[in-house]
Amino acid sequence: MKILEKIDAAALENQLDKGLYILFFTADWCPDCRFIKPAMPQIEEKYKDYTFIQVDRDENIDLCQELGIMGIPSFVVYRDGKEIARFVNKDRKTKAEVEHFLDQIA
C-alpha cells in the first residue's frame, strides 16, 4: 500500500487523475484502525483493480477537513480524479463490511 505524503485536496485530485484509487484514512493511535489494518493486505489482493493509498490523518489533518473525513478508519474511492464513493464514519469496520462496501461500487 502506498503512503500519501502531506497534500491538499486539489493536488490530491490531480495526483489521482487517471485510474481507480482507494484512500484508507488511518492513524497510529486509533484502535479501530489497528483492528482493520491486518485485513488490508487481503482486501488489496481481492480488489486488484484499485490502487490503495494510506493517508495518515494526523499528517494530513487539513486534507481530512477539506474532504470531510470526521472519523477513522475511513475509505474514499476515486475514479479518474473524482470521488465516487465513501465509507466514512467513526465506527470500527470489519473486513466483511469493507468488502461489502467495495462490492457495491464494482
Which residues are part of the catalytic machinery? 30, 33
- The three cell numbers of residue 61 are 489533518
Handedness of CA 56, 58, 63, 64 (dihedral sign): positive
